[in-house]
Structure formats: structure tokens, C-alpha cells
Amino acid sequence: MLVLVAPGQGAQTPGFLTPWLELPGAAARVAAWSDAIGLDLAHYGTQADADAIRDTAVAQPLLVAAGILSAAALGEVSPAAVAGHSVGEFTAAAFAGVLDDTTALTLVRKRGLAMADAAAITETGMSALLGGDPEVSVAHLEKLGLTPANINGAGQIVAAGTLEQLAALNEDKPEGVRKVVPLKVAGAFHTPHMAPAVETLAKAAADLTPADPTVTYVSNKDGLAVSTGAEILERLVGQVANPVRWDLCMETFKELGVTAIVEVSPGGTLVGLAKRALPGVKTLALKTPDDLEAARELIAEHGV
């Protein structure tokens, strides 16, 4: 059984889109998306520096565009399930036919702008905790006033809050945590700090008519499989201020009997978690088009 997954913000690196634009038709497709959302995706994906693509309003549509583009390069794919981490859920919604590509990118562009505006209200950020017991870590974060914004499984939790709170965390790590790593994001996503963005996104989504998913769609709100487009869209709006439970998504993959996971571009983060949490499951990350042949072989072996 194959699951197709899409990474979230922080996975982007300067120039990562460059080799994908060399594929037939890719540049024209990205140009059309850029016109539709008012953002030069090719520029940001090929020439912009790390600070420029760290901007929430840029990073989010850039990641979704890369995910859709790299998945299309695989050809006909029939995964048993799809899922995405944070903004990667918009990529997954496009995979599942809930939103068409342009609609997904238009909505995620509005999401990124709204979240950037919300992040500008207070200086906030996110840091990953490596190691430690989840229950101990969550209790410690709450004591410091931080939110466990991403519970990723495989011993990783991401804390979010003000820069002062994160500095306190760096000085006072939970018992058993080996390291606290600041993330390349510009705000405390998936926390109450993002409440203003939820309202903006809800208004933007009100005029949309989503389709029901064509494959099993696993939501990172709670790891449940969601069967209607209306509920998926509602969750896409609400997840801006809700914690990401990727640990529960991986539990669902296990229950579904997953045998292989392919992570679309810029892949690496989610297969890294899967290697630790789902031993025995084959994994492959699409980093460049050079990975396509191996991905197709894996898909042919484990796809529906």
C-alpha cells in the first residue's frame, strides 16, 4: 500500500525548484500559476535567497507548487492514501481532487499572506525538540507558556510561541530532550497566535465548492480519514491555529497497512520521521527529478 505525502513549511531551500522547471511543460505551468496568484514562483524557487523564501507568504505557495509539480512528473499514480504536513495538506487536497491545482494555490497564497499578517502582530517562532518523552515535553512547554504546535512522532515535538518563550526553552529544556533547533519559519503557526488568519481564510474559502476526495485523505488534525470535501476544506481553514498531529497520521498509515511512502518535493522531512516511526516501510523522497525513476519503481511495486 502506497501513501503520497507532502512536506510543510521549513522544507524549502534556495534554488530547489530549478531542476523541476527543466522538465517538459513545467515552466509554462508554473508561469500560469504565478499569474493566477500574483507571485513569481519561478523567481522565488530558483533565484531568491533563504531569507526571501522564509517569508510565509512566499514559502507556502512555493511549497505547494513544487509538490504538485513533482507529483505530476511521476505520471499516473494511484496511492491508497494521501496526507500533508501543515501547508502540505493543501498539496494533498490537490492530489485527492478536492481542489484543483490553481484553486489550491490561490487559497494557499491567501493563507500565507494572512498568516504573515498574524505573525507580524507579535514576534513569534518555532523550535523543534529532539528526543525526550512526549508527555514530559508537552507539560514542560505548557509551563513555559509555549504550544506543542507539531507533535510529529519519532521523538520530535515542535514548540511555538514568542521569541522570549523560545529563548527560555533553549535555556531550560525538558528532561531527556537532546537538542532544541530553531525552525526556518516566521511565526508561531498552529497556535492561537494565528487566530486572525483563520477568520481571513474562512472568508476566502466560503465561495469554494470542494469535491469529495478520490483517495483516502488523512487529516493532520487528528489522523482521521476524512471522506467529504466540505469537511476537508473546513479542516484546512481551522488547522492554521490547531496543532499538527503527524504522529497520529503515521498511526493511521500503520493501521491502513502502509508498505511504502513517497514524499513529494522538497522531500526528506516526512520520510525521515517515517524511517524512525514506521520500521519496515519503504520510503523515498523526491528531492530532484533524478529521484523520479526510483519513485516510479517503488510506486509500481506498492501502488494500487
Q: Which of 92, 143, 33 is nearest to 270 (CA)?
A: 92
162 Cβ contact partners less than 8 Å away, ≥ 6 residues apart: 122, 123, 124, 145, 188
C-alpha cell at 98: 478536492
**Catalytic hit among 86, 137, 219, 265:** 86
By the 10 Å C-beta count (0-12 exposed, 13-18 middle, 19+ buried), 232 is classed as: buried
**Catalytic hit among 85, 190, 193, 302:** 190
C-alpha cell at 90: 493543501
C-alpha cell at 163: 521569541
Give Cα separations from 205 to 108, 112, 152, 238 (angstroms): 10, 14, 27, 11
Active site residue 86: yes
Q: Which of 220, 243, 239 is nearest to 81 (CA)?
A: 220
Contact present, 53 and 59 (Cβ < 8 Å): yes
210 Cβ contact partners less than 8 Å away, ≥ 6 residues apart: 93, 98, 99, 229, 230, 232, 233
C-alpha cell at 25: 511543460
Q: Which of 54, 4, 1, 60 is nearest to 262 (CA)?
A: 4
Q: SS in 3 state form for 203-218?
A: HHHCCCCCCCCCCEEE
Catalytic sites, residue numbers: 86, 190
